[in-house]
Structure 1
Amino acid sequence: MSQVFGGENTMTYFPEYLKTYPNMNTASPLHLSVNRLDRGYHPHRHDFLEFSYVVEGSGSEIINGVRHSMVPGTFTFVLPYQIHEILTAPGSTLILYNCMFSMDMLMEPGGQDGLSGLINAANPLPAYAHFIGGEQDKMCALIEDMFREYNGDDRWRKTLLQVRLKEVLVRFDRWRRKERSGEGDVQCACKSSPSVWRIIQYIHRNYQEDLTLTELASLFAMSASRISEVIKQTTGQTFVHFLHDLRLRHACSLLVSTDMRVTEIAHEVGYGSYKTFSRMFRESKGIAPKDYRKLKLQA
């Protein structure tokens, strides 16, 4: 269902908000699939990262109002909260890989930034690149290998998938920079300023702490009301709802993938009391944390 937010002078339209994907609440939050689109895919947004790679067919994609063509070799990298839509060309069928994954997959051990610069670059780059020739063959082979690994069960599978994901994204970033240097100005789908993405990323990395708008205002030299406004504009959620959403998603992952006690999980994800955690969990999931764990483990 679409949503509309705004005050007296501005109205912001938010189409369907996709909140989940397979494997999201696991120790390896990544899902890779091959899809056939005869009629494209309607406008939507989500708070996870996604890349797509076209194997066959033709069409176009619109990201935050910026349109680009989709042909074999087109790679697209969609950032969280960007509104995007796929249009299949008449008489064609788009066949493409789609990979959905958490921002955590880009981080390095010890809290280092890793490839997080891909989502908050000071100089925004196009969200897509068209691979050709030998580079297209390399990218296609890399994603095919990643897909085989994803569907297998060999030792170190999760580790190798994360390595493959990072290699795919590095190759994409290098190629789009090379394309851009030869094409001059290219329209970018990143409508949010770099400072907004720094705030969003900071919240993603520190939601387990006792974050407040006042603290964020001090860190990013903006008023608390302005930070509240840009978070709502970017995510479609209030700061408080956004913070609870991140904490509860982490809690769901821990409930399914660990043996931690529920009270320990409550504190781990940022809640000072189990009572508050339990109440927020019930309001969001419609079920108690312990019952959620039983339900998922029995599935």
Structure 2
Amino acid sequence: MKLEAHSKIRENISFDGNIPIRIFRGYDRGKSLIIPHMHEAIEIIYITQGDLKVLDSTNRSILHPGEFHIFNSNSVHSTSFRGWVLKGIVLQISFDLIKQVVPSADYYKFYFSKGSPKCKKAVIHILESLLAQSESGENFVYLKSYGDVMYLLNILFKQFSEKVSEKKIHLNQKYYDRIFKINNYIEDNYSETITLSRLAKEVHLNPEYLSRFVSKHYGMSFYTYLTNVRLNHASSLISTTDLPILEIAEQTGFANYAQFNKEFKKRFGKLPSQNRKRQ
């Protein structure tokens, strides 16, 4: 489900000014890929049409119409779609807000599988209600939304959560630190030549281990992830600037124009020049 153009592992979310949530309709046609990223917010994706492939940490699943998935705060995740039409609802709730009302929230993780069918229907009803409120334009409607969010959190903590041990919290922090190092380096250097060996040296890991780590947690190889980071930046430049496409290819780290065209069409279904004409 498309959020907004970004390529950093930590997505910056622009929350509503009155209540720190973001809710919107998700829509895709043809194919789309949201590369692995994370954010300090829990995210719920509810599908109404189409099938969405989900990678959450190392867990893979497919969301079908009528189903939703809960992404925990700071969980590395990605989604992909290939089909006719994908529709749904996306809700993001600031983890700072959650910790204000549940100070021990760091010690809980949410799992869709734990909730009963009745509770899942209640969550879907709240998502639909929050979306309708966000589109109503009424004065002070955010007050009702705030109440619905609190009700939703009550359901999530009581019916969909599991307490995490201190040891698991410590292991998770080591995992996050490793993810940050890998992605910060790629984000800062994607326009240059980056090899697996060079990255391994920068993050103090064995190249073979690093290769397995990226494949396991990102759902794609190191080079595929790097290429997608570059493509995200290239797509953004095509949309927001008048730079020549050849110059964009060079600025985003592609070895040559032919490779750029090939990878861009593979990802977005059309050549960069066609994409610019369409926009």
Q: Normalising by structure 2, report the TM-score.
A: 0.49
Higher helix share: 2
Q: Quick one: higher RCO (CA 8 Å, sep 6+), 1 or 2?
A: 2
Q: Normalising by structure 1, report the TM-score.
A: 0.46
